Amino acid sequence: MFDGNLAITCPRCGARVAGVEGCFALRAELSAREYSDPAYGAVNLLTTDAHALQHPEDHGIKNNAFHLVRLGWLLEHRADPRIGNNPRWLHTPFDGLPDLPTLTPPSFRGHFTAVDMLEADTPEQYRELAYTWGRSVWEAWSQHHDWARGFLKAILP
Ligand SMILES: [Zn+2]
């Protein structure tokens, strides 16, 4: 029988951490690093979207749609993923109660997880790994690429 206390992996993304709680604690750790050093914060939006989309059960319909659209924007439009790059046009469509589809999450969410980010010893390595993570998660959500691209096209200034 499954015992949550003995969990050695995150049931959402498969990372080798102590369950979902351990995975969000690790995300908080990465976030603290990004907010304390701009060299690491340079890829904050990528790591935020990647982690969120690997844990869609914890975020809800609106958040999942937002993170998928933004991840597509970051990767396919080469947008700047640094902390604070939050253009108004990207957020406005998600204000209030927009009519959004329920994006069924993929069961497999990529081989790369938050744990792999710990391999980075320098901001350059961290940046490279953040793009690997982002691309891996974007690919995992490929069944919703058409929707995300169409949505982004409609709101891009
Ligand atoms: Zn996880």
Residue-wise pLDDT tens digits, 92-123 = 999 988 889 999 999 999 999 999 999 999 99
- State in Å: Cα 5 to ligand 1 middle: 15
User: Do 113 and 54 contact (CB within 8 A), yes or no?
Assistant: yes
Question: pLDDT at residue 32 above 70?
Answer: yes
| pLDDT at residue 1, rounded to an integer | 42
Residue-wise pLDDT tens digits, 5-20 = 456 899 999 999 999 9
- State in Å: Cα 125 to ligand 1 middle: 21
CA distance 57 to 10: 12
- State in Å: Cα 54 to ligand 1 middle: 6
- State in Å: Cα 14 to ligand 1 middle: 6
DSSP conformation letters of 12-29: TT--SSSHHHHHHHHHHH
Q: What single DSSP character describes residue 141? A: T
- Both tokens assigned to 157: 């200034």
User: Do 140 and 108 contact (CB within 8 A), yes or no?
Assistant: yes
- State in Å: Cα 39 to ligand 1 middle: 24
- If we measure between CA atoms, which residue out of 157, 133, 153 comes closest to residue 30? 133
Q: Please report, for residues 61, 75, 130, 131, 153, the alpha-carbon distance to residue 34 in angstroms, rounded to integers and kept in the order given.
A: 26, 19, 12, 15, 29
Helical ranges in the chain per DSSP H: 19-36, 38-41, 44-53, 61-76, 88-91, 123-140, 145-155
- State in Å: Cα 9 to ligand 1 middle: 8
CA dihedral 143, 71, 43, 63 (to 10 degrees): -100
- pTM given for the model: 0.94
- State in Å: Cα 30 to ligand 1 middle: 13
- Both tokens assigned to 11: 């049931």
- State in Å: Cα 104 to ligand 1 middle: 17
- Both tokens assigned to 156: 């891009």
- State in Å: Cα 154 to ligand 1 middle: 31
| pLDDT at residue 3, rounded to an integer | 46
- State in Å: Cα 67 to ligand 1 middle: 16
- State in Å: Cα 84 to ligand 1 middle: 24
- State in Å: Cα 156 to ligand 1 middle: 31
